[in-house]
């Protein structure tokens, strides 16, 4: 049941031009439903790997047996506190989830939509005025996604480049860069929380420092856990999704023409692109010994539920490696599944759809710039960079 596979180091996962890490993980469906990978985390720890979508859903719902509390961020600092609510198990998870749900509800996202659209338009218009080509990640995807996050925190864009750098180092850097980024992010969140206690504003951090659970204020560590999760989630995943989407459209001009001629299809297409280019690996920790479909999982073992694997499952999706922008009943798990389904999924969806709508309405027929090649890579979060597109 041991297989030489890693989302970090296997063929197709290394940083390379014109790579396709999603195709590389799709090949896992030719093998067993579950296997043990001796080296499937950033620090080289082994994990069990669940390849079937139905098995991942079953596991992600069983929070009593498979815990979310790993302190993945705090561990980089030699500490042990959870990102909240992601790394809390029930019943504590439900308490904080109920506290935060209204901030990310569909109704709240509708209120934010005009500002999100205005930001997309501003960035794209600036790109058009400057040139007939651009680096999608540097010039659009990261500034767009991070500025939405900064607006949520009530901050201006002056530190945008610094925050993007922290996010890249945290998620994709070596151990030295990762630790330095984690220290910077914690210091920033703690300083912002202290500021909002003295000078309240109409923003997320003020909400966090003034909130109560079970009739008491949040502790400093709880405010930090919430703030760090928002920071990490807001920095990279939406920008990366936009990058993979625009790379697909740059390479598949028929799909690009379809969405230009029928923009009402963009919402449906965004779901298919989320499925086909999922980016996040979720890891759980076994709380007891269990036989999981023949796999002898032991207490303390790590178990990987990688969205990019389950969303290419042929038992779940017809022709899973074909990107069909008209695919209906798309039960993908790009935003995870079960109690820990992504809190910010409504906001992320709107950011992605708005970015595609405004990009396609303002940028002419675009393609990968001749002489360049996007660089992709695997990892805990898949990534793409050097995505240079041209519409001259």
Sequence-ordered list of residues with C-beta below 8 angstroms from that of 346, at least 6 positions apart, any chain:
104, 105, 106, 109
Rounded to 5 degrees, φ, ψ at 31 are: -115, -155
The dihedral through the CA atoms of 205, 211, 214, 218 has a sign that is: positive
Q: Is residue 77 in some structural domain?
A: yes
Query: How confident is the model over 109-125, as a mean pLDDT?
Result: 95
What per-residue confidence (pLDDT) applies to 149?
82
pLDDT in tens, 255-287: 999 999 999 999 999 999 999 999 999 999 999
Q: Please check whether residue 11 lies inside any domain of the structure.
A: no
Q: What are the two backbone dihedrals, phi and then psi, of residue 297, each rounded to the nearest 5 degrees?
A: -75, 130
Model pLDDT for residues 141-174, shown as the tens digit of each residue = 999 998 888 888 777 777 888 888 887 788 777 8
With CA atoms as reference, report the closest residue to 349 among 362, 327, 329, 334. Answer: 334
Lowest mean pLDDT among 38-47, 188-197, 238-247, 343-352: 38-47
71 pLDDT higher than 80: no
Q: Bigger pLDDT: 74 or 304?
A: 304
- The answer as to whether 184 is a domain residue is yes
- What pLDDT score does 163 carry? 84
CATH number of the CATH domain containing 317: 1.10.630.10
Residue 134 has a CB neighbour count (10 Å cut-off) of 23
Rounded CA-CA distance 145/351 in Å is 7
Residue 118: the pLDDT is 96
Average pLDDT, the chain: 93
Q: Residue 38 falls within a domain, yes or no?
A: yes
pLDDT in tens, 9-42: 999 999 999 999 999 999 999 999 999 999 998 8
Number of domains in the chain: 1
Cβ atoms of 100 and 344 within 8 Å: the answer is no
- pLDDT of 42: 80
Assess whether pLDDT exceeds 90 at residue 175.
no
Two structure tokens written together for 257: 């023409």
Indicate whether 46 belongs to any domain: yes
Range of the domain at 156: 16-390
The predicted model gives 180-199 an average pLDDT of 92
- Tell me, yes or no, whether 277 lies in a domain: yes
Distance CA 141, CA 378 (A): 19
Is 195 among the domain residues? yes
**What is the distance between the alpha carbons of residues 348 and 238, in angstroms, rounded to a whole number?**
6
What's the DSSP call for residue 340?
G
Q: What is the pLDDT of residue 45?
A: 86
Neighbouring-strand partners of residue 48: 36, 303
Residue 7 lies in a domain: no
């Amino acid at each position: 049941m041991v297989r030489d596979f890693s989302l970090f180091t296997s063929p197709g996962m290394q940083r390379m031009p014109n790579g396709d890490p999603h195709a590389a993980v799709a090949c896992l469906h030719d093998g067993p439903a579950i296997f043990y990978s001796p080296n499937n985390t950033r620090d080289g720890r082994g994990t069990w790997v669940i390849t079937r979508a139905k098995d991942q859903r079953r596991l992600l719902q069983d929070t009593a047996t498979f815990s979310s509390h790993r302190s993945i961020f705090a561990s980089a600092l030699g500490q042990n506190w959870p990102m909240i609510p992601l790394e809390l198990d029930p019943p504590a998870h439900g308490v904080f989830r109920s506290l935060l749900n209204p901030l990310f509800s569909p109704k709240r996202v509708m209120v934010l939509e005009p500002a999100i659209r205005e930001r997309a338009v501003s960035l794209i218009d600036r790109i058009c005025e400057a040139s007939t080509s651009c680096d999608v990640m540097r010039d659009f995807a990261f500034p767009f996604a991070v500025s939405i996050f900064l607006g949520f925190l009530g901050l201006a864009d002056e530190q945008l480049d610094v925050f993007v750098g922290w996010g890249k180092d945290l998620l994709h850097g070596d151990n030295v860069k990762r630790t330095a980024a984690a220290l910077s992010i914690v210091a920033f969140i703690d300083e912002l929380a202290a500021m909002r206690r003295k000078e309240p504003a109409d923003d997320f951090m003020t909400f966090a420092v003034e909130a109560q659970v079970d009739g008491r204020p949040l502790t400093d560590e709880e405010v930090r856990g919430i703030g760090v999760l928002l920071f990490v989630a807001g920095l990279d995943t939406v920008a990366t999704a936009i990058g993979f989407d625009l790379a697909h459209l740059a390479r598949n001009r028929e799909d690009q023409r379809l969405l230009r001629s029928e923009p009402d299809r963009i919402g449906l297409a965004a779901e298919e692109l989320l499925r086909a280019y999922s980016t996040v690996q979720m890891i759980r920790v076994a709380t007891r010994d269990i036989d999981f479909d023949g796999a002898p999982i032991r207490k303390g073992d790590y178990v990987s539920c990688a969205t990019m694997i389950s969303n290419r499952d042929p038992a779940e999706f017809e022709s899973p490696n074909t990107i069909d922008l008209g695919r209906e009943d798309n039960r993908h798990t790009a935003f995870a599944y079960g109690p820990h389904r992504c809190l910010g999924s409504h906001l992320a969806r709107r950011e992605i759809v708005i970015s595609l709508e405004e990009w396609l309405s303002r940028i002419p027929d675009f393609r990968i710039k001749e002489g360049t090649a996007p660089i992709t890579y695997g990892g805990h979060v898949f990534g793409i960079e050097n995505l240079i597109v041209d519409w001259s």
